[in-house]
């Protein structure tokens, strides 16, 4: 499976199409309006055509939220070494609508944690 940001600078490929996407209501995910598909970093390749992505990190510093430096799309997040989990999540809003609409959505109540 391949997705990219709006300008095509950030290119992401994963071993498989996700079985579901997570939409979370926590303070950052609701602002990004992201639909996350969860993988291990080994299952995903992130490539850059022109510029490397930039990221935002806050709070307990367990997650880097990456965006395209050129078009600003939130493309993926990765957990940092301070996090117990080893996750690379792709923002499936970068996928073609036909693909995204074919994947079940799971609502995640991140705001309550
Ligand atoms: Zn871009």
28-85 pLDDT per residue, tens: 999 999 999 999 999 999 999 999 999 999 988 999 999 999 999 999 999 999 999 9
Inform me whether the pLDDT recorded for 105 exceeds 90. yes
Distance of CA 112 from the midpoint of ligand 1 (Å): 32
Task: Give me the domains of the chain, ranges plus CATH numbers.
Answer: 2-112 (2.170.150.70)
Distance of CA 113 from the midpoint of ligand 1 (Å): 32
Distance of CA 99 from the midpoint of ligand 1 (Å): 20
Say if residues 37 and 92 touch (Cβ distance below 8 Å): yes
Distance of CA 18 from the midpoint of ligand 1 (Å): 22
Q: Is 110 exposed, middle or buried (0-12, 13-18, 19+ CB in 10 A)?
A: middle
The H or E element containing residue 91 is strand 88-91
Inform me whether the pLDDT recorded for 5 exceeds 90. yes
Instruction: Report the 10 Å Cβ neighbour count for 103.
Output: 16
Q: State both tokens at 50.
A: 């022109």
The model's pTM is 0.95
């Amino acid at each position: 499976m391949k997705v990219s940001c709006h300008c095509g600078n950030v290119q992401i490929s994963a071993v498989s199409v996700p079985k579901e996407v997570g939409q979370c209501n926590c303070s950052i995910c609701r602002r990004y309006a992201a639909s996350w598909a969860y993988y291990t970093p080994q299952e995903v390749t992130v490539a850059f055509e022109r510029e490397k992505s930039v990221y935002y990190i806050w709070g307990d510093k367990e997650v880097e939220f990456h965006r395209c430096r050129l078009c600003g799309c939130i493309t993926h997040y990765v957990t940092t070494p301070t996090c117990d989990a080893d996750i690379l999540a792709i923002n499936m809003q970068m996928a073609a609508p036909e693909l995204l609409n074919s994947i079940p959505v799971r609502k995640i109540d991140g705001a309550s944690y």
